[in-house]
């Protein structure tokens, strides 16, 4: 039998509140995620613990018996952890998920700037693709999500349930290795076939590029020679002279400044995007609530990277 501690804590909370919604708020997760965790506990044990046919919900006879064990286990674990931590718990870190390129190139200077206005912010950052990040946020398995925003994207989030702050603007630029004269080895303005370094089908940034090229004749001249979900991966291949790619400008500022990379096309080929910080309004974790209130007091231009 494989039980997770958080399931036991969820069950004790549900026994106390007799409400899935109230327990979910108490446990800082969305109600659907909380319900799935209770079902996972029941499946692991092999019995039904909760009588969902009543309002408020009740416990089955098996649930009432198991509650005693669950409470004892949770109390013993909390006592042990309190002892190990010297009876004090440090400021709880905020769990943040972010798109790979944002995690590598955008997050460090942005969080440094934010901390100058708000003070120290303990954080845990996990990089993943945007689709996975949205899933994690919806499941209540992170506190905040840092992601690109595209008004035409298919994966939209309800603004009331998932409020956000606009924290930056970004342009995706077509870039190439320069030739000996400083001109792009692979120019979008030439008539030649162009080796194209593409984002994979499921990558969020790839969708933005495909939208740009959807009805443009250039699409017929792009010969895909490499694919990856990560902008930093494309950047590495461009630097090797393998082909041309669209890359967020904050990832390549130094390379453009030094001349190691050059534009493969003029500004008409740029793709403007917005960067946003999201939370789930159904999750009321004290640290997130405090951060959100503090950010609302900051000038908008301070939040922008």
Q: Whole-number mean pLDDT of the chain?
A: 88
Least confident piece of the model among 59-68, 107-116, 118-127, 279-288: 279-288
198 phi/psi in degrees, rounded to 5: -110, 160
In angstroms, what is the C-alpha Rg of the chain? 24
Is the model more confident about 175 or about 202?
Answer: 175
Which pLDDT score is estimated for 89?
41
Average pLDDT of span 74-85: 71
Q: Give the distance, in angstroms, between the CA of residue 128 and the centroid of all CA atoms in the same chain.
A: 7
For 159-244, list the strands marked E by DSSP: 164-176, 194-199, 222-228
Is the model more confident about 177 or about 65?
Answer: 177
Average pLDDT of span 5-25: 92
Does 170-271 match 94-169+274-303 at the fold level?
A: yes
CA distance 29 to 32: 8
Q: Give the distance, in angstroms, between the CA of residue 206 and the centroid of all CA atoms in the same chain.
A: 17
Average pLDDT of span 115-119: 82
Q: Which residues contact 85 (CB under 8 A, 6 or more apart)?
A: none
Output the CATH code of domain 94-169+274-303: 3.40.190.10
Q: What is the pLDDT of residues 81-100, one digit of tens each?
A: 666 655 444 457 889 999 88
Which pLDDT score is estimated for 88?
42
For the chain, list the strands marked E by DSSP: 50-51, 58-59, 94-98, 123-127, 144-149, 164-176, 194-199, 222-228, 245-248, 262-263, 271-278
pTM of the full structure: 0.71
Least confident piece of the model among 70-79, 101-110, 243-252: 70-79
Output the CATH code of domain 170-271: 3.40.190.10
Is the model more confident about 139 or about 33?
Answer: 33
CA distance 281 to 276: 15
Is the model more confident about 100 or about 261?
Answer: 261
Is pLDDT of 73 > 90?
no
With contact defined as beta carbons under 8 Å apart, do 30 and 142 qualify?
no
Phi-psi region of 134 (alpha: psi -120 to 50; beta: other; left: phi over 0): alpha
Least confident piece of the model among 30-34, 67-71, 80-84, 281-285: 80-84
Q: How buried is residue 66: exposed, middle or buried, by Cβ count under 10 Å (0-12/13-18/19+)? A: buried
Q: What is the 8-class DSSP label of residue 264?
A: S
Is the model more confident about 228 or about 74?
Answer: 228
Q: Which two tokens stand for residue 298?
A: 């900051």
**Right CATH number for 5-84 from 2.40.290.10, 3.40.140.10, 3.10.20.600, 1.10.10.10?**
1.10.10.10
* Residue 281's pLDDT band (cuts 50, 70, 90): confident
Q: How much of the chain exceeds pLDDT 70, in percent?
A: 92
Q: Collapsing DSSP states into helix, strand and coil, what is residue 61?
A: helix
Q: Are strands 144-149 and 123-127 parallel, antiparallel or unpaired?
A: unpaired
Q: Are strands 50-51 and 58-59 parallel, antiparallel or unpaired?
A: antiparallel
Q: How much of the chain exceeds pLDDT 90, in percent?
A: 52
- Please give the C-alpha separations between residue 285 and each of 44, 93, 94, 289, in angstroms, as whole numbers: 27, 11, 9, 6
Q: Give the distance, in angstroms, between the CA of residue 15 and the centroid of all CA atoms in the same chain.
A: 32
- Terminal CA-CA length for the chain: 48
Q: How buried is residue 8: exposed, middle or buried, by Cβ count under 10 Å (0-12/13-18/19+)? A: buried
* Residue 129's pLDDT band (cuts 50, 70, 90): confident
Is pLDDT of 282 > 90?
no
Domain boundaries, the chain: 5-84, 94-169+274-303, 170-271
């Amino acid at each position: 039998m494989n039980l997770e501690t958080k399931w036991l804590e969820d069950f004790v909370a549900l026994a106390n509140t007799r409400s899935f919604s109230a327990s979910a708020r108490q446990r800082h997760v969305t109600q659907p995620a909380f319900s799935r965790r209770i079902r996972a506990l029941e499946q692991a044990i092999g019995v039904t613990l909760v009588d969902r046919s009543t309002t408020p919900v009740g416990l089955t006879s098996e649930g009432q018996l198991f509650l005693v064990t669950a409470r004892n286990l949770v109390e013993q674990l909390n006592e042990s952890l309190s002892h190990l931590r010297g009876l004090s718990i440090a400021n709880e870190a905020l769990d943040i998920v972010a798109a790979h390129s944002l995690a590598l190139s955008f997050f460090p200077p942005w969080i440094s700037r934010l901390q100058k206005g708000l003070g120290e912010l303990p954080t845990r950052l996990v990089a993943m693709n945007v689709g996975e990040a949205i899933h994690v946020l919806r499941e209540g398995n992170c506190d905040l999500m840092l992601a690109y925003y595209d008004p035409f994207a298919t994966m939209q989030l309800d603004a009331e349930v998932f409020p956000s702050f606009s924290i930056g603007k970004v342009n995706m630029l077509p870039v190439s290795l320069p030739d000996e004269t400083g001109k792009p080895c692979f120019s979008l303005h030439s008539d030649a076939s162009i080796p194209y370094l593409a984002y994979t089908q499921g990558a969020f940034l790839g969708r933005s590029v495909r939208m740009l090229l959807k009805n443009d004749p250039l699409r017929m001249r792009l010969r895909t020679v490499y694919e990856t979900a990560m902008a930093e991966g494309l950047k590495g291949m461009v630097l090797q002279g393998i082909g041309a790619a669209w890359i967020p400008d904050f990832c390549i500022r130094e390379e453009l400044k030094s001349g190691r990379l050059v534009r493969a096309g003029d500004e008409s080929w740029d793709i403007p995007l917005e960067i946003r910080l999201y939370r789930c309004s159904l999750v009321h974790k004290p640290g997130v609530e405090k951060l959100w209130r503090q950010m609302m007091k900051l000038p908008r231009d301070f939040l922008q990277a």
